[in-house]
Amino acid sequence: MTVESEQDSFSELQIDVLIPAFNEENAVGKVIAAIPSFARNIVVVNNNSNDNTRKVASEAGAIVLDEPQKGYGKACLKGMEYLNDLETAPEIVVFLDADYSDYPEEMHQLIQVLVAGNYDMVIGSRARGNKEKGSMTFPQVFGNWLATWLMRRMFSAEFTDLGPFRAIRWNELKQLEMQDQDYGWTIEMQIKAVKLGLRYTEVPVNYRQRIGVSKVSGTIHGVVGAGYKILWTLWKYR
């Protein structure tokens, strides 16, 4: 099956994309443009941006929601509330960052594995893919290694990354009863998936230098805050 025919088959599924965005006016339009046509809804959650993120995302064709309270998890929860209120619920939700560091066109790989392998969740692993030089800082690389090592020791979880690029079935996502409102969102999802016995796997994804400065790895406050929250989340769900 060719990539084109494979993607055509995905059009029969209800696949929605959720993108939290904080001050990503230079990147979010590129992200939206690169998302495969099989996506039904592209939902960008404008997370208290003070630039033109909302305008750019809207002009690129996305559904734009406003979440005035900052927080990655807070923005994701806002997007989930919107999807939950749709007349026809999604079957699959894809989470994607707005900074253009991921390759949205690789989305078909996550969906193909999810569907063909009958998985509930697929994580795009940057650790297993090709990373552009400088795309991940040392704190990011070390933090991912430490967090996944601890998850393996504490929960027998087989992950190599906390990558934000991920696909999950909607009904299973709701079962997780996600709560985290900031840095702990991705690891909470992965820990809860393991504890609830969801079927999960990883696929290698490529990664490039983001457009603009990272709100997490680009500041000392972000690095410390994310590190603390990840460790706290591991302890909370142990």
Q: Are 132 and 211 in contact (CB under 8 A)?
A: no
Both tokens of residue 154? Answer: 């504490």
From the number of C-beta atoms within 10 Å of its C-beta (0-12, 13-18, 19+), residue 88 rates as exposed
pLDDT score recorded for residue 5? 56
Q: What is the pTM of this model?
A: 0.92
Rounded to whole angstroms, what are the CA distances from 8 to 21, 47, 188?
A: 28, 32, 33
- Cβ-proximal residues to 179 (8 Å cutoff; 6+ apart), any chain: 73, 188
Which residue do the tokens 């991912």 mark? Answer: 144
Q: Output the CA torsion 79→126→113→94 (10° steps).
A: 10
pLDDT score recorded for residue 213? 77
d(CA 144, CA 188): 14
Q: Are 64 and 44 in contact (CB under 8 A)?
A: yes
pLDDT score recorded for residue 3? 56
User: Mind listing the pLDDT tens digit of every residue in the chain (238 residues)?
Assistant: 555 655 667 888 999 999 999 999 999 999 999 999 999 999 999 999 999 999 999 999 999 999 999 999 999 999 999 999 999 999 999 999 999 999 999 999 999 999 999 999 999 999 999 999 999 988 889 989 999 999 999 999 999 999 999 999 999 999 999 999 998 999 999 999 999 999 999 999 999 999 987 655 445 555 677 788 888 999 898 8
